[in-house]
Amino acid sequence: MTDPFKDIRPYNNDEIRPVLDSLLANTDFIRSIAGFSYPRLFKLAPGPLCWMARRKLTAQLKNVNDVKSMQDIIALYMDKMIERTTTALTHSGLEGLSRERSYLFISNHRDIAMDPAFVNYMLYHAGFDTLYIAIGDNLLKRAFVSDLMRLNKSFIVKRSLKGRELLKSSKQLSEYIHHCVATQCNVWIAQREGRAKDGIDKTETALLKMLALAPRPKPLAEALQALHIIPVSISYEFDACDVLKGNELYQKTELGSYQKDEQSDINSIVTGMVGFKGHVHVAFGQELVLDSDDDEAIARLVDAQIIQNYRMHATNVLAVNQLRDLDSSLIPSLTDEGCSVLTDFVIDPAVKVRFESRIAAMDPKIRRYVLQMYANPFFSRYAQTA
């Protein structure tokens, strides 16, 4: 039988070992790993460091022959990353999930790699099956990056196509997601294309329409109901990429455009992984119950859970206060609850010092954009117009 999803799906168990062997023989991949592992020394001695990187990886991966053993290795790296870059990792809502059912988790999108990684980590340690993860092909400009993602149960969203090819690809993607959920596999996808760099979490209706392409001619609500959608809200106390996002927002607003280079996405991925994140909270919402085929109404249902379940951190409150001092016109009218939260929120002095030092060290022209990025989750919940 032909495999209708072969070009987008993750690698199967029998494909894992050959792909790993190919990666270990890939000079471009080894150079990237060596440069990432030894950034200062690599320019001085690339040859020996590549040899060391290949030898270390070969030893670490020698017993990996299937998806589970691959994910066990990744879990070890996640444990080390969490220990180094977070002060706390918490969750809520997991008790509402059933192990007898598979879900499509639709989450807000703040970090390219870490959003699905943290959701996956929570499910993995709670005894649930790990996720099949949607990742845009715009991030897969190098073949070995595509291989790495597909080794870890990621599947490809083809965003670079146009016209009829895009429609065909979207239908294939929809069919694959429905296939996963129908065969008891959990799936993660972001609520929008690209990260919410301004901190405003809003579901794109185009995503909902894509998800309903496969089971046509069913109505939108019926098609989406089959996916058992769970909104997920991920909140970072500190955004490791805040400077990168602030610079992009500044350039788009003040200069009219922002031009990515070949390293932009890679820099964001690496910065998000190794940068300090403080307290990270992953909130699992309740399965959507849909009684309308209005895509905008359905998007608002997803948004409402994501915004309400977002864990407010001291950095969100501090950003609101700093914005008020910078320009009070940037602060919308707040609900009584929002005013009370601002007044009563208990702020750890160490977090306050760290946040204020972080903001003060930034280029003055991007500070407003970074502060707004941190403050917007607060406004989304507590502004009177929300």
Report the relative pairing of strands 86-92 and 154-157 from DSSP bridges. Answer: unpaired
Provide the pLDDT confidence category of residue 242 given band limits of 50, 70 and 90.
very high
**In this predicted model, what pLDDT tens digit does every residue of 37-47 receive, in sequence order?**
788 898 899 99
236 CB neighbour count, 10 Å cutoff: 26
pLDDT of residue 263: 75
**In this predicted model, what pLDDT tens digit does every residue of 325-338 receive, in sequence order?**
999 999 999 999 99
Please determine, for residue 386, whether its predicted confidence score (pLDDT) is greater than 60: no
Please determine, for residue 96, whether its predicted confidence score (pLDDT) is greater than 70: yes
Please determine, for residue 231, whether its predicted confidence score (pLDDT) is greater than 70: yes
* Strands annotated E in 68-197: 86-92, 104-107, 131-136, 154-157, 186-190
What is the chain's length?
A: 386
pLDDT of residue 39: 80
Cα angle 216-219-225, degrees, rounded to a multiple of 5? 95
Cα angle 319-325-329, degrees, rounded to a multiple of 5? 90
Q: 191: helix, coil or strand?
A: coil
Set out the domains of the chain in order of their start, with CATH numbers.
64-309 (3.40.1130.10), 314-382 (no CATH)
Whole-prediction pTM value?
0.94
Q: Among the listed ranges 19-23, 262-266, 297-301, which one has the minimum average pLDDT value?
A: 262-266
